[in-house]
Amino acid sequence: MDVVARLRRECDDNALIMGHGRTVVPNCFSIELPADSHRRLAGHRERLGPELAAEIRRYAAERSYSFAGPVTVGVATHPDGGRARYRVRSRLVPCHPPTHTDAPTMALPQVTVPNAGT
């Protein structure tokens, strides 16, 4: 499965219905890679996060999903060395004051969500 498809599934699997017509999905994503893969992407990591965040925003717009804050995608090394190709983690991070770079993000009022152990 490619990374974009996995990020989309992460949105779908973690969607929270907040009311009629309002579904909130995670807005903070981390893609954990094995150390060798992480090193190979060294020259691309700076633009990879914003490009993947744009893909998530497009997908969310198609599904009428909303975010609780700016969409971010980080690329990190597996904390345990990781043998899998990659692992995706997500979480909902409450709204911060919008900035000019957050224009495509539909921000909602702050939402308190219990930590699900992630």
Predicted pLDDT at 12? 96
**pLDDT reading at 91 higher than 80:** no
Name the pTM for this structure: 0.70
Whole-angstrom distance, CA of residue 49 vs CA of residue 71: 10
β-bridge pairing 22-25 and 16-19: antiparallel
For 19, residues 6+ apart whose C-beta sits below 8 A from its C-beta are none
Torsion, CA 13, CA 116, CA 7, CA 31, rounded to 10:
-160
Domains in the chain: ranges and CATH = 3-97 (3.30.2320.60)
Q: In whole numbers, what is the pLDDT of the chain averaged over residues?
A: 77
Average pLDDT over residues 33-43: 80
Q: Which of the two residues, 70 and 115, has the higher pLDDT score?
A: 70
Q: Which of the two residues, 67 and 113, has the higher pLDDT score?
A: 67
Torsion, CA 87, CA 35, CA 69, CA 101, rounded to 10:
-130
Predicted pLDDT at 106? 40
